[in-house]
């Protein structure tokens, strides 16, 4: 949910130097790309968990504000997750989380705020897929206080699943980071977590880090 309240606007106005990551674009569930960027498999009591990151694109574009503390880009990514083999039939739930690790060389604000600030919010299109739950959440804003040399995870899409398979993607999403001197680096991640009656198990994979 994207807050449009006056209080939220006032809070943003009170932090003019804060780093803000904004996104605008279409998010699609149940689709996957074709070019594999990274894949990871883990053997667990819930079967062999595999998560694949595809369609990993980061395109830097000129900042509209022309400020040295501002970086903009257009990003796309997709993730597919599966569980196979003995134990996979015991999966009762789980999540597939797709997003970016964001690193700032020098934060000039003392605190970083990532927020979705489109007027009407991102457009969500849901495609029913067998074995995939349709509960979907977008993290519109996260207030964090990073230290030098430490990156932050920003989730752009998390899907709750009810079976061994899951997929989530976003395409041509505009991102913007403000309040950072020395450049912004982003790296996509995909984390697949499953739950059984005996515990939780997860596997993660990462794309290549690139400058925004």
Residue among 115, 151, 165, 142 at smallest CA distance from 9: 115
User: pLDDT of 72-129, one tens digit each?
Assistant: 888 888 999 999 999 999 999 999 999 888 887 665 555 444 433 333 333 322 233 3
Q: How far does CA 51 lie from the centroid of its chain?
A: 14
Which residue ranges make up each domain of the chain? 38-128+147-211
Q: Which residues pair with 157 in a beta bridge?
A: 98
Say whether domain 38-128+147-211 belongs to CATH 2.60.40.1650. Answer: yes
Higher pLDDT: 40 or 180? It is 40
Cα–Cα distance list, 196 to 43, 49, 109, 193 (Å): 14, 13, 43, 10
- The answer to whether 75 and 100 are in contact (CB under 8 A) is yes
pLDDT bracket for residue 181 (50, 70, 90): confident
200/23 Cα distance (integer angstroms):
31
- Tell me the backbone φ, ψ of residue 11, rounded to 5 degrees: -65, -40
Q: What is the mean pLDDT of residues 6-30?
A: 39
Q: Give the total residue count for the chain.
A: 212
| Residue where the block lists tokens 């989730």 | 155
Higher pLDDT: 88 or 11? It is 88
Q: Of 35-44, 49-58, 102-111, give the lowest mean pLDDT range.
A: 102-111
Please give the model's pTM, rounded to 2 decimal places: 0.69
Q: What is the mean pLDDT of residues 188-197?
A: 93
**Secondary-structure percent of the chain, ordered helix, strand, coil, rounded to 5:** 5, 60, 35
């Amino acid at each position: 949910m994207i807050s449009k309240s006056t209080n939220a606007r006032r809070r943003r106005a009170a932090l003019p130097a804060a780093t803000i990551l904004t996104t605008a674009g279409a998010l699609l569930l149940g689709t996957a790309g074709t070019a594999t960027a990274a894949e990871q498999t883990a053997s667990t009591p819930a079967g062999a968990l595999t998560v694949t990151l595809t369609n990993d694109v980061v395109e830097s574009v000129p900042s509209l504000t022309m400020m040295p503390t501002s970086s903009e880009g257009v990003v796309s990514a997709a993730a597919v997750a599966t569980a196979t083999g003995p134990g996979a039939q015991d999966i009762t739930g789980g999540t597939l989380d797709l997003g970016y690790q964001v690193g700032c060389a020098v934060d000039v604000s003392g605190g970083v705020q990532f927020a979705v600030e489109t007027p009407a919010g991102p457009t969500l299109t849901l495609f029913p897929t067998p074995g995939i739950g349709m509960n979907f959440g977008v993290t519109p804003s996260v207030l964090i206080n990073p230290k030098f040399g430490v990156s932050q995870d920003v989730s752009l899409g998390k899907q709750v699943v009810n079976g061994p398979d899951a997929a989530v993607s976003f395409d041509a999403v505009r991102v913007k980071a403000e309040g950072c001197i020395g450049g912004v680096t982003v790296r996509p991640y995909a984390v697949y977590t499953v739950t059984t009656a005996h515990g939780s198990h997860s596997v993660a994979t990462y794309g290549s880090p690139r400058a925004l």
